[in-house]
Amino acid sequence: MDRKWIKEIICTKEAPAAIGPYSQAVATGPLIFLSGQLGIDPSTGKLAGVTIEEQTRQAMENIAAILDAAGSSLDLVVRMSVSLKDMKDFQRFNGVYGSFFEDDPPARITVEVSNLPLSALVMIEALGLRD
């Protein structure tokens, strides 16, 4: 097998540690696959707040920190998957999410789920690029 692309585990203390047997992100070649991020404050290990806005902002900050550790940024995200506990939060979620992508937002899917770890309101995963 050609090992031109190797598997690199990405981990930073600027984002919450994984709460299960998975990595914050895995990079290979120009691709970075981020695990789903909850709105957990890495300094406390607890959800950043009780509102969709607070948890979305923290989840996006966690994603930005992991991308930075991988040598990338939100500008290089090509796709995101969003799980909302309640689709009634969709517009409020979009208000915060959109502030992170003023130009050329990535492709995205958003679905409602019955439950998330730690009873979070939102979980966001990303696929990004790096040079």
For strands 25-28 and 46-47, give the pairing.
unpaired
Is 3 part of any domain?
Answer: no
Domain count, the chain: 1
User: What's phi and psi for 41, nearest 5 deg?
Assistant: -75, 120
Range of the domain at 31: 8-129
Which whole-number Å values give the CA distances from 92 to 15, 35, 40, 80, 129, in the listed order? 23, 23, 18, 17, 28
Q: pLDDT, tens digit, for every residue of 62-95?
A: 999 999 999 999 999 999 999 999 999 999 999 9
Is 2 part of any domain?
Answer: no
Q: pLDDT, tens digit, for every residue of 43-65?
A: 999 999 999 999 999 999 999 99
Is 1 part of any domain?
Answer: no
CATH classification of the domain holding 123: 3.30.1330.40
Nearest-angstrom CA–CA distance, 25 and 63: 10
